[in-house]
Amino acid sequence: MHQLGIRRKRSRLAALVAVLLAAMLAVAGCTIGGAETAGEASPADKAPVAQVVETPVVGARDVSPIAPVSVTVTGGTLDEVALNNSAGTPVAGQLSADRTSYVVSEALGYAATYSWSGSATGTDGKTVPVEGSFTTLAPDSQTGGTLNIADGQEVGIAAPITLQFDNSVVDKAAVEKALVVTSVPATAGSWAWLPDDNGGSRAHWRPAEYWVPGTVVHLDAKLYGLNYGGGAYGDQDLTLDFTIGRSQIVKANAPSHRMQVVRDGQTIMDIPVSYGEGNEARNVTRSGIHMVTEKYEDFLMSNPPFYENVRERWAVRISNNGEFIHANPQTTGVQGSSNVTNGCINLSMSDAQEYFGTALYGDPVEVTGTSIDLSAADGDIYDWAIDLPTWKSMSALA
């Protein structure tokens, strides 16, 4: 009896152990031989680890054509990424050395759709596509601008940089911030916005004093894609490189009936001339700092009712109101003793030809001693007739 009881106890214990073991296996979800845990995804079912971020976001609209455009990836690297225009042509861009970012390096077009292509490979070996598109803004209008100086041109020491826009600019401050003038040697100066002319706004940059001869000047105008306000955007960037030539200043004192040409501090011409008669306002040579803007060996001049289409020789324009330094044989007899012209500065034929050969765009012509000052009424470039504090106050960033 005792042994039988022992065997029964052992049998019940073994059965209990077997039941507990089965329960544990069921709870753990294990299978014999180390099979996967029940309810846990296999590696093939896990989400890719590579995470791609596109800027601007997929589907974005009205994107600025100069906004940053890029793709970055975490948990992987980029493969053959490109941004393509609507014709399928890739836009210029640069892949980083570690292949985790791609940055577009050229401006985009207006009102255009761009699409991404390529892929990224994660550290888990899985690939994810780089795809999607966005659209750039469509401006109501585009505004262009023209400069008064050509690339590589040599100009006189009074020459401003003038930028004439073909429409009125609403946000002048935004535009002025995009206009950067640098020079060697460094030159103090300021932009000023003059009244609209020729159908659009105009901005002039003038040094505080005459340029130093030999100065090298650079303008960088980042205007493409810039919001001008009023629905208008810039149509292109502008750059300009030019140099300042020798110093040449014309000293023109009307009461003296003479004119001096001073080159690099030395008087190279001191000649008899005749200034405006001054019997009425239209015949007064304006006092103030004029600037040489054009010159013609032959020029037809008119000043109704006094004369029309009269051929004049060796004509150097110094303002847009019709003031020239030019030859006039009809006044030779009074040059040096009397002022009889209709506002121009008359020289003999030989003196006019000699001066003509020395004149350069941007040379200052300093007229003094007359009853009317040079002003905005006298043409497009009267920059030096404005005192420096007032000039600076005409900046949109003042």
Position 21 scores a pLDDT of 42
User: Which one of 30, 204, 218, 326 is the catalytic residue?
Assistant: 326
Q: How confident is the model at residue 46 (pLDDT cuts 50, 70, 90)?
A: confident
Please write the tens of the pLDDT for every residue from 300-321.
988 777 778 889 999 999 999 9
Q: Is 220 exposed, middle or buried (0-12, 13-18, 19+ CB in 10 A)?
A: middle
Position 368 scores a pLDDT of 98
At 232, list the tokens.
């208008």
Please state, for a pLDDT cut of 90, what percent of the chain lies above it: 84
Position 97 scores a pLDDT of 97
In the DSSP assignment, the letter for residue 352 is: H
Query: Is 141 in contact with 232 (CB distance < 8 Å)?
Result: yes
| Gap between the Cα atoms of 258 and 269, Å rounded | 10
Taking Cα atoms as reference points, which of 361, 365, 210, 375 lies closest to residue 273?
A: 365
| Gap between the Cα atoms of 117 and 134, Å rounded | 13
Inter-CA distances, 6 with 12, 13, 15, 333, Å? 10, 11, 14, 155
User: Which one of 2, 204, 290, 344 is the catalytic residue?
Assistant: 344
- 3-state per-residue secondary structure call for 101-147: EEEECCCCCCCCEEEEEEEEEECCCCEEECCCEEEECCCCEEECEEE
Question: Residue 80: left (phi > 0), alpha (psi -120 to 50), or beta?
Answer: left
pTM for the whole thing?
0.85
- Confirm whether 326 is a catalytic residue: yes
Listing DSSP states for 152-219 in one string gives T-EE-TTPPEEEEESS--S-HHHHHHTEEEEEES---EEEEEEEEETTEEEEEEEESSPPPTT-EEEE
Tokens 């020289």 -> residue: 347
Please state, for a pLDDT cut of 70, what percent of the chain lies above it: 89
Please write the tens of the pLDDT for every residue from 51-63.
999 999 999 999 9
Position 307 scores a pLDDT of 76
Taking Cα atoms as reference points, which of 213, 162, 145, 175 lies closest to residue 381?
A: 162
Sign (positive or negative) of CA dihedral 282, 388, 163, 161: positive
Q: Are strands 227-229 and 232-234 parallel, antiparallel or unpaired?
A: antiparallel
* pLDDT beyond 50 at 16: no
Position 40 scores a pLDDT of 54
Mean pLDDT of the chain: 91
At 6, list the tokens.
């022992």
End-to-end CA distance of the chain: 116
Query: Is 167 in contact with 201 (CB distance < 8 Å)?
Result: yes
Please write the tens of the pLDDT for every residue from 380-393.
899 999 999 999 99
- Confirm whether 290 is a catalytic residue: no
Position 10 scores a pLDDT of 47
Please write the tens of the pLDDT for every residue from 177-187.
999 999 999 99
